[in-house]
Amino acid sequence: MADPTAPIEGSALDTALTQYHRAADRLGLTDGLRDVLATNKRELTTHFPVEMDDGSIRVFTGHRVQHNNARGPLKGGIRFHPQVELDDVKALAMLMTWKCAVVGLPFGGAKGGVTVDPRALSAGELENLTRRFTAEIGIIIGPEKDIPAPDMGTDARIMAWMMDTYSMNVGYSVPGVVTGKPLSIGGTVGREEATGRGVLHIAREHAQATNRPLEGMTVAVQGFGNVGSAAAAFLAAEGCRVVAVSDVAGGRHQENGLNIDVMRALAPTAMTHPSMPGDLITNADLLTLPVDILVLAAMEGQINERNADKVQAKLIIEGANGPVTTPGEEILVDKNVMIIPDILANAGGVIVSYFEWIQGRQAYWWDAEEVDRRLLALLRQGYHDVAAVSRRQEVSLRMAALLLGIGRVVEATKTRGIFP
């Protein structure tokens, strides 16, 4: 009989565990240590009531998964989305552990989410849901324990509600319990666009390392939310020709390049707005366009065994977490498509969250130039560390990043020892 707790084949958790075990094989981990790093430290699932505007009560389900804290406090976003499931949260928490280690942050990985469509709630209902969920997970989060941040479907306003709820429960103001907050309550400049800016920095480092200037390259971006729209704008400013973008409503394609600034101004109606030039396309169409760079900034599992053979991009940059499944990647590797993996490519967000956490602890704030200088330094070091492992071990950038990140967590675990 199949194990009912096993991850579904091709799911985000299946992909994350497959990647982990392949790296663990190369690292020669003992069975015990392999099990420690494959297992979450803590999983909290809560079913909680929320009063709606009409006075009715709805019960929602939320999760907070803490994967590993060997290198420091736990860090990871909060996602509000209709498709949030526990296995997905487990996968994302594990990826956060490796991501923080790859770029040298003193954090472990966590993730959280609520199964809800935030667009279907009023502002009052969204606030009620956020505050109740925060109260439910308040027993395991904190500025020295686990520091949430925005993710898909959440933003600075929601982080403000989380920070205030936690603070009210403990009796004093605790700005450091979350990152991605508004500037007025201890946020940092540069956090909102940090992941998209990080995609640019990584693309630039890769272009320089491979002697292929970014200027003039064609780009398609799947996902025109916070990450994808910022990445598109930064790449366009660098001289790339962004020929296609898409979101849940569909996409736009124009071979001579889209005006990304105008599209960002029209979001979230840009794809269907009658004044927008370019051809209407689907998300599936965008993934198969003949472009130099494909930025994946939407959901997990977008490229898989069903469509990978149709991908024509030469380089894929994973602005989202887990957008390529393991079977899909095997097909892409056979086609000589280069992939810059999520745990390196989209680390800009958690890096600037780390900066916000540091600034809050120091009660001293950096300007935008300082934030970007430090962001570039960490991403540049992370890219070249991964590239060096890739050359030395003769493995893909993804395997190199996994070997580097997991290896650093292994070292921390061995150094700390196992508490009896």
pLDDT tens digits for 341-363? 999 999 999 999 999 999 999 99
**pLDDT value at position 149?**
97
Q: In the predicted model, is pLDDT for residue 1 greater than 80?
A: no
CA–CA distances in Å: residue 418 to residues 20, 32, 70, 328: 21, 11, 10, 37
CA angle, residues 401, 306, 325, in degrees to nearest 5: 20
**pLDDT value at position 6?**
55
Phi, psi of 149 (to 5 degrees): -155, 170
> What's the pLDDT band for 4 if we cut at 50, 70, 90?
very low
- Mean of pLDDT values over 9-28: 91
- Mean of pLDDT values over 10-32: 94
Contacts of 402 (CB under 8 A, 6+ apart): 19, 20, 22, 23, 98, 341, 343
Q: In the predicted model, is pLDDT for residue 169 greater than 80?
A: yes
How far apart are alpha carbons 113 and 368 in whole angstroms?
A: 30
3-state secondary structure of 65: strand
Let me know: does 387 contact 85? Beta carbons within 8 Å.
no
> What's the pLDDT band for 224 if we cut at 50, 70, 90?
very high
How far apart are alpha carbons 242 and 263 in whole angstroms?
A: 12
Q: In the predicted model, is pLDDT for residue 29 greater than 90?
A: yes
Entry pTM: 0.94
Phi, psi of 226 (to 5 degrees): -60, -45
- Of the listed ranges 1-5, 209-213, 344-348, the least confidently predicted one is 1-5
Q: How far apart are the first and last CA of the chain?
A: 35
Average pLDDT, the chain: 95
Let me know: does 324 contact 342? Beta carbons within 8 Å.
no
- Mean of pLDDT values over 240-262: 95
**pLDDT value at position 420?**
84
How far apart are alpha carbons 64 and 110 in whole angstroms?
A: 7
Q: In the predicted model, is pLDDT for residue 2 greater than 50?
A: no
Share of the chain above pLDDT 70, in %: 98
- Mean of pLDDT values over 36-63: 98
Q: In the predicted model, is pLDDT for residue 113 greater than 70?
A: yes
Nearest residue to 126 (alpha-carbon basis) of 135, 137, 117: 117
Nearest residue to 347 (alpha-carbon basis) of 110, 96, 152: 96
Share of the chain above pLDDT 90, in %: 93
Task: Kindly list the structural domains of the chain, giving each domain's residue range(s) and its CATH number in brackets, ordered by start.
Answer: 40-180 (3.40.50.10860), 194-345 (3.40.50.720)
CA angle, residues 217, 220, 224, in degrees to nearest 5: 135
**pLDDT value at position 116?**
98
> What's the pLDDT band for 272 if we cut at 50, 70, 90?
confident
Catalytic residue ranges: 111
Residue carrying the six token digits 């009989």: 1
Residue carrying the six token digits 């990978």: 308
